[in-house]
Amino acid sequence: MNPNSIFKIMQLRNKFQNNHPKAVAFLQNVLLSGVPEGTVIEMSVIKPGEEKVTANMRVTADDLEMMNELKNLKE
């Protein structure tokens, strides 16, 4: 990967962390503790002037396999 691209991604990551520290802490806490198969992840979005939209997914073995492959890519 291009070193300039890595630097830019790191800058964007740091900016996101500074703008949303509670969200980053929440995600780190949940992800670092592990997400076993069968876990339900629920997401909600409220756009200005619109009703809340919520969706959820149950983590499968295939999802965990994909996440492990993605982790291996960065190593």
> What whole-number distance in Å separates Cα of residue 45 and Cα of residue 51?
9
Residue 72 has pLDDT above 90, yes or no: no
pLDDT digits (tens, 9 = 90+) for 22-40: 999 998 898 888 899 999 9
pLDDT digits (tens, 9 = 90+) for 7-21: 999 999 999 999 999
pLDDT at 66: 92
* Boundaries of every domain in the chain: 1-34, 37-75
Q: What is the 3-state secondary structure (H, E, C) of 16-51?
A: HHHHCHHHHHHHHHHHHCCCCCCCEEEEEECCCCCC
